[in-house]
Structure 1
Amino acid sequence: MSLKPSLLAAALAAVFLPTAHSQTTEPEGAKRLERVTVTGSNIVSLKREGANPVQVLSAADIKASGKTSLPEVLRLIAANSGNSFNEQFTGSFSAGTAGLSLRGLGQQNTLVLVNGRRVAPYATAQNMQDVFTDLNSLPLAAVRRIDVLKDGASSIYGSDAIAGVVNIVLYDDFQGTEARVGLGRSTEGTGQSERSFELRHGFGDLAREGFNLTLSFDALKRDRLDQSQVAWLRDNDFRGEPGGTLAWVATNYLGSDPTNKLGGVQGPLQLINYGDLTPGKTGTVLAYNPAAYKTLIPGAERYHGSARATWRLTEDVEAYAELLLGSSRADLIFGAPLSVSSSLRAWNDKTQSLDTISVALPKNHPNYPTSGSAVLNATLFDLGTRFKQDAVQFQRVLTGARGTTGPWDWEASFTQSSSRLRETVQNFGNRYEFERALKAGSYNFADQSLNSEAQRQALRISTLRPASAELIALDASASTELTRLPAGPLGFALGVQLRRESMDSRTSEQVLSGTELRPAINIIQGGRTVGAAFAEFNVPLLKSLSLNLAARADRYSDFGSAVSPKASLRYQPLDSLVLRANVSQGFRAPSLPEITQSTGVSYGSVIDPRDPISPTVARGVTNLTAANPNLKPERANNFNFGVVLSPDAQSQISVDYFNIRQKDLIDTETADFIIANEARLPGRVLRDEQGRIVSLTRQFKNQGTRRVSGFDIEASRSFALGGAGRLKLKTQLSRLLQFTLPPAEGEAAVNGAGSNEFGSLPAWRSSTSAVWSLGDWTSTLSWNRVGSYTQTYRPRPEIAERVRAINTVDLNVDWQLSRQLQATLTLQNFSDAKLPWDASTGSYDYSQGDPRGRFLSLKASYRF
């Protein structure tokens, strides 16, 4: 029996609202009121809760989750609804990374801060346009809490804060030493293991001694998980699913008909009925299982360190310096051995285009056919699997001072941050050696066991691709109470920022020289300067009603200016009731790959109605992507309205409605659009001598408007159970009502909420936990649910109309053995729930679930 999210939401009040006999009063202690700056505001005040919807994940919440990395923790946020990529996105230019996508708007529309400041983005772009913060580069051991602002915040932070802001707050006053070690292993059919270590050390009391130094270090080593290691995926056979097929790859044939076989069974090739691969086809083909050449989760080795020093210079002034360091490495299988076909290409740096490489067998070749086509479609298995390693070095230096001068609270800081990548790939193909071998007839495609190791080695090449991104910023801000109004103080803040952003993502020498076959290129070279000024007012209209007004003006050296205003109301007619509303305008600046000097080459597939051979079958093509210096920023209008009900100190329920309208979206034209408008887009479609598409040229442009709406529910309730301890229930639900966007330029808008029309966007996501504390034991039981969604990819009617929901249950048990020593057992997905098949991906959707199955981990921590 399943509990529908709507019924669960309706039942929240019965669980989380108090009953008379269960209310308890927590002891009141003397607490020093501290003036703070909360996420989403520049005004220093005594209030920690304003008009903005902010979800807070404490260090205790992070520990109770049992997760060992920041991306795993943030994946539990219900508002992280879709289009959120992590290490499982192995086919990208940013393998081994992880981003965050609130509201499904993409990681480029969610701003990630550390201690309220930006960090350098990952060294290169994902999908050739997304510039984002790699969460895997940030330290987990140093995290004190995570603030998730689920509203537009360009009026405070500038670009990218369309869907919201994630502010990772680090320890700055830790005292003592705490160490933790962990071991983990998947238990059902995968066998992946990981080892982790965390250390925090701090000394100095800022209030008594005038200084504090907080240090942290963490390390994670995780085995690579390949598809061939996962029992339910290793066969790549989905014929048991409605409309599923044997998802193998046909290869080693001549011409365009896979049944026209070249040679026989060799290496991983097997003789397969063509109809098992493509329903309706007859005959047999040579095919291989691609599961042997796919990594689901890269092997990882990560090290992070942080240092935060704070000095009290006077009673009213303190200085601080912070250093973040990260070193990470991701290892993965990059794909099957080199395949050659009529779409084989190599880069020509002089013409800035792709050269066509002939794959027609010469008559003197031993594999030349007695009749029919001599055009090759073959996989060179004897060259070996392609392997990839991405090594990243990340750092951020932050230094500054803050204090109080007269009625003003002020802060000034300097930030320098960088991300540097070295990507190496083994077993690419050498164009010139291939052409020589083909012409001489010295390489046997039909029986590759006849080839010598010297021939194979001549065809292999390894490549190195370097990339870097850097950010330098100066910030200064001040806030004060301008005057006292009848209802309270009139708060005011102002500030300026100067920022320099640059990116230098290069390609390998083998690509530039035209040596590498089938190159993937992501060249980005450019930089810009950003200047900004901002102001904010907090106006108490009544004792129970306050108005917040904010505005920020940003000036970019490439596209120009953007102004972002915001107005918020907070109304508290009762101690137990808060009403809040926000209306704002925001923007996303064109990323450097979109607007500066950049070149991208990637690979995909299209259905070409004018294809002379297969007008209804998808065919592989090369995509060339170019930047556009005339881009405008994306603009957004945000509206939020929320209700927070706190009947007593142990209970709280909040409901927030959100509505986002984002226009002038930046993207390239779709392949279908370019093909349909080929006549009026000269030079954008390149065809071979047969009339078949070889490549498509795309350019970024402003196009289309997106509308997104929905609501969030959060609830928590604590129960005192007397001799049975204490129980705390928490839940968060996110309902996506609307995600409306035209599928292509000129088409009518479609609502993709609750479907995979624009990537998987389940209508419902939720995370619910129960924390029971009794004596030295604390147990956390968590239920995480990703709702089912409509399948929009249905080339065959028997494919199921919906992709099933994902339900996982995690258990975390802490045992305090002594004052210093604690042991923790965690079972993630302890029912070993399998991910549902999604026909649009050909397997499961990596953006929604984890393929590891049940995962057991043991940790021990010691506090000195």
Structure 2
Amino acid sequence: MLKTKTLAAAIGSLLTAHTAIAQEAKQFETITVTGSNLRSTDKEGANSVQVISAKQIEASGKTSLPDILRSISANSGNSFNEQYTGSFSAGTAGVSLRGLGQKNTLILLDGKRLANYATAQDLQETFVDINSLPLAAIERIEVLKDGASAIYGSDAVAGVVNIILKKNFQGVEIGGSWGKSGSGTGQGERKFQLLAGKGDIKKDRYNIFFSLDGQQRDRLDASDVGYLRNMDFRDKPGGRLNWTPTNYYNNDPTQGFAHAVGPVQRVPWGAITPSKQGEVWAYNPAPYQTLMPSIERYHAVLRGTLQLNDQLQAYSELLYSHSNASFIFGPPLAIGNSLRAWDNANQRLVNVSSTLPVGHPSNPNAVPTPINSNLWNVGPRTKTDSTEFSRVLAGLKGKLDDWSWDVSALHSESRLQETVSNFGNRYAFQQLLANGGYDFTAPNNSAAAVEALRLATTRPAVSRLNALDATVSTQLLSLPAGQLGFAAGYQFRNESIDSDTSQAVLSGTELRPAIDIIHGSRNVSAAYAELNVPLLATLEANLAGRADHYSDFGSAFSPKLSLRFQPARWLLLRGTVSRGFRAPSLPEITNSTAISYGSVKDPYDPITPGQLRGYTGIYAANPKLQPERSKNINLGVVLSPAANTSLALDFYRINQSGIIGPDDATVIVQHPELYPGRVTRDAQGRIVSISNQYQNQSARTTSGIDLELRQLLHTASAGNFTLSGGWSYLLDYKQPRVAGQAQMDGSGNNTFGALPKWRGSTALTWDYRDFSSTLSWYYVGGYTLDDSVREDDFPASVASNSTFDLSVVYTGVKNTTLKFAVQNLLNRKPSWDPSTPYFDITQGDPRGRFITVGANYKF
């Protein structure tokens, strides 16, 4: 569908080419840039496209694709990487342009779709795991910061990230790097890469390209990081002793065991929960909290291109990646009144009692007694997510008279095998509770009892995509102001997800299960067309439209109008108006059931009213869902007052309607009269579970401004300097907290996820003889705390944060490139956010200073 060729070597100068295009367009090779199916000599079009070259990636010193994309200023919030270990998609990473979530950003590889990850993020978000894509083989990345449903269909509401691989590589290149924490965490990283290519498409009429890269990184736990090691934040505004009470009777933490069991200490309850009195047994959760999993990843790409004749080219590609991410999921299983098991026959949770019978060795009373503790002897719960990703692509493209065409077919899939250990066996627990075979108050228990409680399971999942694309383009006719460009195409694809749970869950064996069952498939067919109309010598209009038909919900039509006005060689005005959509994800609309765990402030809790209370959420799909619709407006100006100076300023506004989501848990709890039967409580009156179903809920409006600048300075004796930057300012982010209520503005606060007003990066590169060094500044603005998470003693806001990276590249040795890089040069901590364990993982990084050295050699 999308045809791309290598951009001219001067792509980094955003407007330098404009001075020549007007009079000397014939000297430039036509190209297709993300956001259009038409080829053009214009490098700055009507759409705002940020280009990140392979040279810029190398200069950044970053060693993973997620780290590259998280530094984009438009990737402003609600974007997760491997720090999000508490999800069903642990070990993955995505992109969230404009803060609209990973589901509203379309990821393409060479202009074509990829299979989504095998299961959903936060139960409903389907997305492409960018950890599955090879960094070493990338030629460039194009980020379209505008809605593009008229070109690409669903999911492109906030924009598109198009990752373009090398196509005409010759020679052999090997390289590797070694990295180590410079902040005392002990975390290390190893990488290698191999690139090999033969044949020049233009000269030899063929090219074969192969790349292989691997990455290993050590696990980072909270106990490895100095400021997190003790989880004691009482020296911070609104800080607490973030320990967890345990080892007590009658659901009262002050009725503790007579002796310490497990890694616990006696601490004031008020240090953990203000206003509480007495002392409690509690443990430090830091050793059981993985901040970043240990990973082992490999990516391989094999691509072949054959020029059959002057008019016909065949191409094929095989991409394969394998990843293991291992981490501590949590402390030894907590037992208490929150214990549940799954009743598959009735599709519901059932309570599992933890009340000690009379005569049990852990029961000091003459009556049955509820107990809260942890299965300390069983050990911490761990997970390993093993993912295999693949894409097979084959196509033909060519010319027939004045028509260019491209036909391709692809198959892509993502497979997950999640293995867990040290989870709890319900039936063994009930038996040992009844016969006294496990003493919760004893430091040790028999090996047989411990092994009976210990449960290991496997959860499989697979997501598949099959697609057929056909595109044609031509210059239809000559108009007074230029050629009338035309493109059209057809796409058919089948999407499916089969995400299961373990047999231990289905049989009711696993205690406190989490479930994300998805079984669904659908067909999508689409036809699209695009016209580029030169109205004047300085003004052109682009019209595009796409009609999609889904086998589950029906149809969607997405039109787009763009204008590009260049009254002078140094001035470009541009604007687009479009409509887009996001189709309901398969977890939202198809046969699915999900169970997860959260917390909510419960004003009706009989023990801790108004305090956060954990609950089990039960979610169901809705086959009656309709797509989320969007209207996008983008307006921009690009200035190039000098050949080596460029400045681009763009305004965007996105209106979404029919946003899909569950009802707000806080409102359900606070207004039981409006949601009868949705909240289940135990005999004490404490929340057990909340039932929910996805609905087309409400609307959202967001707008902001992007600023991009680039300045080149050439000197005769001191080398060349390049100053570049990309900054985004969020004007507003409005939606109701609950459907039917007035909209609230989430910009500059964390009402709808942390969404700072400002986010940006600036880099200064100095090229001198055989050296190239880059100093990068990354800025994340502060934000205020929403009332729903803010306690009385919390600070009003979270501070802004700045980090600096430094990289040096030396090419003075023949065929060799030496690299040195320091991420977070000043070892800056993430900003303190008391509504989180320490910092918001969508905004900060716990790794601190990290030093990398590496080398590449070309044969």
TM bucket (normalised to shorter chain) is over 0.9
Structure 1 residue 673 displacement after superposition:
2.2
Quote the Cα distance in structure 2 between the aligned partners of 1:17 and 1:621: 52
Structure 1 position 735, deviation (Å): 0.3
Corresponding residue for 1:706?
Answer: 700
Q: Which amino acid aligns with 2:29?
A: E
Match of residue 562 from structure 2: 568
**Of residues 566, 575, 585 in structure 2, which corresponds to 1:581?**
575
Q: Distance in 1 between matches of 2:522 and 2:443?
A: 52
Counterpart selection for 1:616 from 610, 620, 624: 610
- Bigger CA drift: 130-139 or 277-286? 277-286
Which residue of 2 is the match for residue 798 of structure 1? Answer: 793
Between 681-690 and 655-664, report the one with greater CA deviation: 681-690
State the alpha-carbon separation in 2 of the partners of residues 460 and 293 from structure 1. Answer: 17
Residue deviations 1:430-453, cap 9 Å, x none? 00000001111221112232x111
In 2, Cα distance between the equivalents of 1:814 and 1:795?
46
Q: CA deviation at 1:30?
A: 12
Q: Which residue of 2 aligns with 1:516?
A: 510
Establish whether residue 631 from structure 1 lines up as the match of residue 622 from structure 2: no
Q: Aligned to 2:141, what secondary structure does the other structure show?
A: strand
Select the residue among 190, 194, 203 that pairs with 1:199.
194
For residues 20-39 of structure 1, what are the structure 2 equivalents within 5 Å?
A: 33-39=28-34
What residue in structure 1 maps to residue 841 of structure 2?
846
Hey, what's the Cα distance between the residues in 1 that align with 2:819 and 2:464? 39
Q: Which residue of 2 is the match for residue 279 of structure 1? A: 274
Q: String of CA shifts for 1:17-61, please: whole Å, max 9, x gaps.
A: 99xxxxx99xx9999632322110011233333100000000000
Residue 468 of structure 2 is aligned to residue 474 of structure 1: yes
Please state if 1:169 is matched with 2:135: no
The reply to whether residue 63 of structure 1 matches residue 74 of structure 2 is no
Instruction: Please identify, of 487-496 and 678-687, the stretch whose mean Cα deviation from structure 2 is larger.
Output: 678-687
What is the aligned partner in structure 2 of residue 433 from structure 1?
A: 428
Deviation at residue 112 of structure 1 after TM alignment: 0.3
Letter in 1 for 2:822: L
Structure 2 residues not aligned, in runs of 5+: 1-12
Q: Distance in 2 between matches of 1:46 and 1:720?
A: 26
- Residue equivalent to 2:484: 490
Corresponding position: 1:376 with 2:352? no
* Greater displacement, 274-283 / 536-545: 274-283
Question: CA separation in 1, counterparts of 2:317 and 2:28?
Answer: 26
Within a 5 Å distance, the mapping from 1:298-317 to structure 2 comes to 298-317=293-312
* CA contact 2:14–2:710 (8 Å) conserved in 1: no
Residue 111 of structure 1 aligns with an amino acid whose one-letter code is L
* CA shift digits 1:114-149 (9 cap, x unpaired): 000000010100111010000000011110000000
> Which range moved further: 691-700 or 466-475?
691-700
Where in structure 1 are there 5+ consecutive unaligned residues? 1-15, 19-23
Separation in 1 of the partners of 2:226 and 2:116?
36
Q: Within the alignment, does 1:52 sit opposite 2:41 as a pair?
A: no
- Counterpart of 2:681? 687
Name the counterpart of 1:735: 729
What is the distance in 2 between the residues matched to 1:849 and 1:137?
Answer: 22
Aligned equivalents of 1:642, 1:179: Cα separation in 2: 42
- AA aligned to 1:336 is P
Q: Is the 8 A contact 2:517 2:593 kept in 1?
A: yes
Helix, strand or coil for the counterpart of 1:678?
coil
Residues 1:809 and 2:793 are matched in the alignment: no
My pick for the range that moved more, 694-703 or 372-381, is 372-381
Q: Which residue of 2 aligns with 1:443?
A: 438
Q: 3-state DSSP class of the match of 2:820?
A: strand
Q: Is the 8 A contact 2:247 2:261 kept in 1?
A: no
Letter in structure 2 aligned against 1:478: V
User: What is the distance in 2 between the residues matched to 1:781 and 1:31?
Assistant: 38
CA distance in 1, matches of 2:308, 2:178: 43
Q: 1:219-368 maps to which residues of 2 (within 5 A)? A: 219-368=214-363
The yes-or-no answer on 1:756 pairing with 2:746 is no
Deviation at 1:745, TM superposition (A): 2.3
Q: 2-side partners of 1:197 and 1:701: how far apart?
A: 46
Aligned to 2:90: 95
Structure 1 counterpart SS, 2:430: helix
Contact residue 378 and residue 422 of structure 2 kept, 8 A: yes
Distance in 2 separating the partners of 1:378 and 1:359: 10
Task: Tell me, yes or no, if structure 1 residue 189 matches structure 2 residue 184.
Answer: yes
Distance between the aligned counterparts of 1:518 and 1:31, measured in 2? 67
> What is the DSSP-based 3-state SS (H/G/I as helix, E as strand, rest coil) of the residue aligned with 1:458?
helix
Question: Which residues of 2 match residues 521-600 of structure 1 at below 5 A?
Answer: 521-600=515-594
Q: Distance in 1 between the 2:68 and 2:482 partners? A: 39
1:604–1:621 contact (8 Å) kept in structure 2: yes
Distance 2:85 2:197 in 1: 38
Counterpart amino acid of 1:835? Answer: P
**SS at the partner of 1:94?**
coil
Q: Secondary structure of the residue that 1:724 maps to in structure 2?
A: coil
Q: State the one-letter code of the partner of 1:216.
A: S
Residue 667 (1) aligns with residue 667 (2): no
Query: Partners of 2:790 and 2:315 in 1: how far apart?
Result: 60
Q: Distance in 2 between matches of 1:320 and 1:17?
A: 31
What displacement does 1:68 show? 1.0
Counterparts of 1:849 and 1:32, CA distance in 2: 46
CA distance in 2, matches of 1:255, 1:636: 52
Mapped partners of 2:353, 2:711: distance in 1: 69
Q: CA deviation at 1:681?
A: 3.2
**What amino acid maps onto 2:629 in structure 1?**
R
Q: Does the aligned pair in 1 maintain the 2:488–2:528 contact within 8 Å?
A: yes
Query: Structure 2: which amino acid aligns with 1:743?
Result: R
Q: How many residues align?
A: 841
* 1:109 alignment partner, one of 75, 89, 104: 104
CA distance in 1, matches of 2:821, 2:766: 15
Distance 1:262 1:387 in 2: 27
Give the match's secondary structure for 2:690.
strand
Contact 2:356 2:368 in 1 (8 A): no
Against the structure 1 CA distance between its residues 408 and 469, is the aligned structure 2 distance closer, same or farther, given a 3 Å change threshold?
same
* 267 and 689 in structure 1: CA distance in 2 versus 1, 3 angstrom threshold: closer
Q: Is the 8 A contact 1:673 1:745 kept in 2?
A: no
Over the matched positions of the two proteins, sequence identity in percent amounts to 53
Match of 2:154 in 1: 159
Give CA-to-partner distance per residue, 1:452-507, whole Å, 9 cap, x none. 11111110010100000000000001011111100000111111000000000000
Cα pair 2:604 2:610 within 8 Å, conserved = no
Q: 1:124 aligns with which of 107, 119, 123?
A: 119
Q: Which amino acid aligns with 2:480?
A: P
Aligned to 2:713: 719
Q: Whole-Å Cα distance in 2 between the matches of residues 32 and 442 of structure 1? A: 84
Which one-letter code corresponds to 1:725 in the other structure? G
Alpha-carbon separation, structure 1, partners of 2:24 and 2:771: 26
What's the offset of the Cα at 1:680? 4.3
Residue by residue over 1:512-547, the C-alpha shift from the partner in whole angstroms, topping out at 9 and shown as x without a partner, is 010000000000001000000001110000000000
More displaced 10-residue stretch of structure 1: 364-373 or 399-408: 364-373
Separation in 2, partners of 1:116, 1:600: 33
Indicate which of 139, 146, 149 corresponds to 1:144: 139
Q: CA deviation at 1:266?
A: 2.5
Alpha-carbon offset, residue 835 of structure 1: 1.1
Give the match's secondary structure for 2:94. Answer: coil
Letter in 2 for 1:544: T
Residue 257 of structure 1 and its aligned partner are, at CA, apart by 1.8
